[in-house]
């Protein structure tokens, strides 16, 4: 597998993209992205498990019944959620407009929205924006980068990634982009991500691979424990790489493709956590040797969600008692006298008990912008991992005044 420098959604063959300012963001920044496949692509999607779903997302779920997409249009600056019949109509208008220009059926268009809840997508602005975006569609990397810029909200850095992999003698490329960075919590994606590939893959394999991969990537990220109402991850496979179609989930080719998809989603997921609202540090919470997979997950999740753990990391304080506390209320069953905790490579707790440790060495680790925490349960063979970030003043600042 090879990393593609400056890789993005336009890295695979036959995908073009654009990002424009449709005037939805008050600051005039790009807010409308379009990703288009030359031919209708096989597609798969995973969606928020929030009971409340935005109008754009609801229409996408409907249009995805046939698991085929020609294009995805995503706007930032307005969630188009909880806005009643007018919100539903706005989503329909976007699909019809994009389909009309591209000359395809409206059911082949997916639409996504992110921003403040309770406002309808303004028809004129979005229609004019779509016309402009269609004119600016580009196959080169700038097209992809502009699309990524246009889906960002409080994100401070773009998240794009692409890899290539040899499948049956053909170079297959998988590229993706994603936006965070608040209301981030597993189930599902809890963000918007669009992944493209020129692999020739059956709908079944694509669906299987996406579900398998999101479970261990996007669903292992938590910024604040809030699961959004608009979020989705869509993958489009247009088959232009020329490989023999991958039709069996058990084949070597499916394995190679899934690995490439995993690499892209893993990188994007990590990027989401690192760029969580107000984040100064990326935290990797690893649980090892738990008695069951569920226990490992529960412990990693509780630590990754704990405001007390997250503020301690912001304060660069090796307060491991909070990590053990979070494990204790996670719902996992374990012996509190059989837990070791490491911050980086410094062991701070042994058998559930304080261990004298080198505070300077711990501080040196805590001052880094990527920190690994290991909770060793010493009682089994199951591991799990969550990506999260620290909890800073800026998280409060960003979210204390988001709407106004």
Residues that bind a copy of itself (CB under 8 A): 49-53, 79, 81-84, 116-119, 182-183, 185, 187, 224-229, 305-308, 311-312, 314-322, 324-329, 332-334, 336, 349, 352-354, 391-393, 395-404
Q: How far apart are CA 88 and CA 93, in angstroms?
A: 9
Nearer to a copy of itself, 1 or 396 (CB): 396
Q: How far is the CB of 278 from a copy of itself (least distance, A)?
A: 9
Question: Three-state DSSP class for 297?
Answer: helix
Q: How far is the CB of 324 from a copy of itself (least distance, A)?
A: 6
Q: How far is the CB of 96 from a copy of itself (least distance, A)?
A: 23
* Tokens of residue 310, six digits: 């997250």
Strand partners of residue 44 = 235
Q: How far apart are CA 287 and CA 139, in angstroms?
A: 42
Other CB atoms within 10 Å distance of the CB of residue 383: 17
Q: Give me the active site residues, please.
A: 190
Nearer to a copy of itself, 66 or 307 (CB): 307
Q: How far apart are CA 74 and CA 235, in angstroms?
A: 14
Stated length of the chain: 404
Q: How far apart are CA 197 and CA 212, in angstroms?
A: 17
Closest CA to 16 of 140, 172, 182: 140
Q: How far is the CB of 212 from a copy of itself (least distance, A)?
A: 23
Nearer to a copy of itself, 79 or 162 (CB): 79
Q: How many CA atoms lie within 13 A of 35 on its CB side?
A: 38
Extended strands (E) in 91-238: 109-114, 159-167, 170-179, 192-197, 232-237
Q: How far is the CB of 149 from a copy of itself (least distance, A)?
A: 24
Nearer to a copy of itself, 102 or 361 (CB): 361
Q: How far apart are CA 104 and CA 354, in angstroms?
A: 64
Whether the Cβ atoms of residue 205 and residue 257 lie closer than 8 Å to each other: yes
Nearer to a copy of itself, 313 or 387 (CB): 313
Nearer to a copy of itself, 146 or 228 (CB): 228
Whether the Cβ atoms of residue 205 and residue 249 lie closer than 8 Å to each other: yes
Q: How far is the CB of 364 from a copy of itself (least distance, A)?
A: 15
Q: How far apart are CA 211 and CA 204, in angstroms?
A: 11
Q: How far apart are CA 283 and CA 312, in angstroms?
A: 12
């Amino acid at each position: 597998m090879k990393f593609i420098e400056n890789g993005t959604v336009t890295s695979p063959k036959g995908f073009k993209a654009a990002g424009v300012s449709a005037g939805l963001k008050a600051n005039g920044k790009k807010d409308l992205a379009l990703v288009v496949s030359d031919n209708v692509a096989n597609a798969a999607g995973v969606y928020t498990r929030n009971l409340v779903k935005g109008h754009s997302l609801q229409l996408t779920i409907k249009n995805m019944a046939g698991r085929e997409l020609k294009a995805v249009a995503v706007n930032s600056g307005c969630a188009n959620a909880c806005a009643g019949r007018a919100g539903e109509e706005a989503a329909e208008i976007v699909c019809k407009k994009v389909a009309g220009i591209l000359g395809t059926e409206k059911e082949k268009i997916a639409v996504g929205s992110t921003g403040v809840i309770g406002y309808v997508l303004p028809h004129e602005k979005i229609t004019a924006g779509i016309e402009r975006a269609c004119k600016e569609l580009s196959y080169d990397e700038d097209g992809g980068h502009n699309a990524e810029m246009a889906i960002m909200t409080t994100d401070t850095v773009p998240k794009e990634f692409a890899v290539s992999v040899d499948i049956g003698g053909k170079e297959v490329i998988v590229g993706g982009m994603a936006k965070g960075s608040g209301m981030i919590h597993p189930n599902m994606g809890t963000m918007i991500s669009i992944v493209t590939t020129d692999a020739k893959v059956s709908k079944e394999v694509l669906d299987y691979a996406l579900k398998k991969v999101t479970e261990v990537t996007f669903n292992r990220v938590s910024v604040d424990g809030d699961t959004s109402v608009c979020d989705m991850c869509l993958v489009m496979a247009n088959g232009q790489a020329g490989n023999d179609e991958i039709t069996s989930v058990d084949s070597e080719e499916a394995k190679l493709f899934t690995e490439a998809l995993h690499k892209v989603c893993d990188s994007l997921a990590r990027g989401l956590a690192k760029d969580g609202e107000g984040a100064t540090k990326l935290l990797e919470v690893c649980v090892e040797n738990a008695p069951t997979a569920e226990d490992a997950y529960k412990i990693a999740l509780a630590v990754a969600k704990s405001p007390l753990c997250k503020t301690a990391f912001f304060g660069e304080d090796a307060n491991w008692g909070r990590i053990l506390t979070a494990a204790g209320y996670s719902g996992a069953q374990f012996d509190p006298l059989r837990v070791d905790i490491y911050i980086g490579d410094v062991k701070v707790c042994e058998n559930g008990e304080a261990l004298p440790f080198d505070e300077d060495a711990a501080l040196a680790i805590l001052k880094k912008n990527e920190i690994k925490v290991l909770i060793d349960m010493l009682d089994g063979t199951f591991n799990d991992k969550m990506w999260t970030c620290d909890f800073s003043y800026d998280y409060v600042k960003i979210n204390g005044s988001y709407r106004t």
